[in-house]
């Protein structure tokens, strides 16, 4: 689970091959270390995606063209950026900070016993804001761009297909999500790399993280870890949107009944 983060944090990492990194981590720290920070990641992912989709749908409704009911590409991106900022503020930055600190901590003499202990220790040492919101700027830049690109691309593809009467099947939805995930990785990887450096145990500011990456690896270092992120993001994108559309189709009738109920009662 922490392969990408390790590659982005460790200057001495000899290779970016995910299988070699996994083998090295297991040999040095045991198989359990692969899941360091996993519980924090799961909690953060659930909260992040819930907030992201609710925010995006709410904002998107305000941005829609009143006549056509569709969004222009620019409005799609703006709705995505807004949803990303909301998700970063209320869910992503704190959980990513703890996850990254746990993974970084695992490579040295361990300081944290788990997510709760790590959170308490960091708050005690740095205060709530510095402990949980270190790297907020880079995380928000990443989330805003990721949400804008992912949801924007997905909705642009969906509108394109709808105008051409292409059926919205499970396969189509999965493919759209996978394409959106691929674009997301290469468009936002620099923000992810800087975020990881900023949220390590030692902590770095945005400029310090930027200078460190450039000094260690050159400009190509900004895309360090993209291969590992790509496999996860492409698959996750397909699954995420397929699940979202499936759940939306299930609850939409109930929501429509709820909206119509007061009107019917008044009549």
Q: What is the pLDDT of residues 127-186, one digit of tens each?
A: 988 888 988 888 898 889 888 888 889 988 998 998 899 999 999 999 999 999 999 999
Is pTM beyond 0.85 here? no
Q: Write out pLDDT tens, residues 27-84.
A: 777 776 666 666 666 776 787 788 888 888 888 888 887 777 777 878 878 888 999 8
| Domains of the chain: total | 1
Task: Measure the CA–CA gap between 146 and 149, rounded to whole angstroms.
Answer: 5
Residue owning tokens 């051409």: 164
Q: Write out pLDDT tens, residues 89-118.
A: 998 888 888 887 887 776 667 788 888 888
For residue 86, report the phi and psi dihedrals to the nearest 5 degrees. Answer: -60, -45
Name the residue among 96, 103, 135, 115 with its Cα closest to residue 39: 115
For residue 220, give its domain range: 3-266
In terms of pLDDT, which residue wins out, 122 or 4? 122
The CATH code of the domain that includes 171 is 1.50.40.10
Tell me the pLDDT of the chain averaged across its residues.
Answer: 80
| Measured torsion, CA atoms of residues 15, 31, 231, 148, in degrees rounded to the nearest 10 | -100
């Amino acid at each position: 689970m922490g392969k990408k983060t390790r590659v982005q944090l460790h200057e001495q990492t000899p290779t970016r091959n995910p299988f070699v990194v996994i083998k090295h981590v297991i040999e040095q720290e045991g198989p359990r270390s692969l899941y360091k920070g996993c519980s924090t990641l799961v909690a953060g992912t659930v909260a992040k995606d819930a907030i992201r989709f609710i925010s995006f749908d709410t904002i998107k409704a305000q941005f829609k063209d009143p006549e056509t009911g569709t969004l222009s590409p620019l409005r799609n991106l703006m709705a995505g950026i807004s949803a990303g900022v909301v998700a970063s503020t209320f869910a992503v930055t704190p959980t990513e900070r703890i996850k990254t600190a746990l993974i970084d901590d695992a490579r040295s003499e361990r300081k944290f016993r788990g997510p709760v202990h790590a959170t308490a220790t960091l708050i005690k040492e740095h205060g709530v804001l510095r402990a949980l919101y270190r790297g907020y700027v880079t995380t928000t830049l990443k989330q805003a761009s990721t949400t804008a690109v992912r949801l924007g691309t997905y909705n642009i593809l969906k509108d394109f297909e709808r105008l051409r009467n292409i059926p919205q099947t499970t396969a189509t939805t999965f493919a759209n999500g996978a394409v959106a995930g691929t674009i997301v990785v290469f468009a936002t990887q620099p923000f992810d790399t800087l975020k990881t450096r900023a949220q390590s145990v030692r902590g770095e500011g945005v400029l310090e993280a930027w200078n460190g990456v450039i000094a260690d690896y050159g400009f190509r270092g900004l895309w360090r870890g993209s291969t590992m992120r790509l496999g996860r993001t492409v698959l996750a994108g397909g699954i995420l949107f397929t699940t979202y559309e499936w759940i939306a189709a299930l609850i939409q009738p109930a929501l429509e009944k709820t909206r119509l109920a007061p009107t019917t009662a008044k009549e």
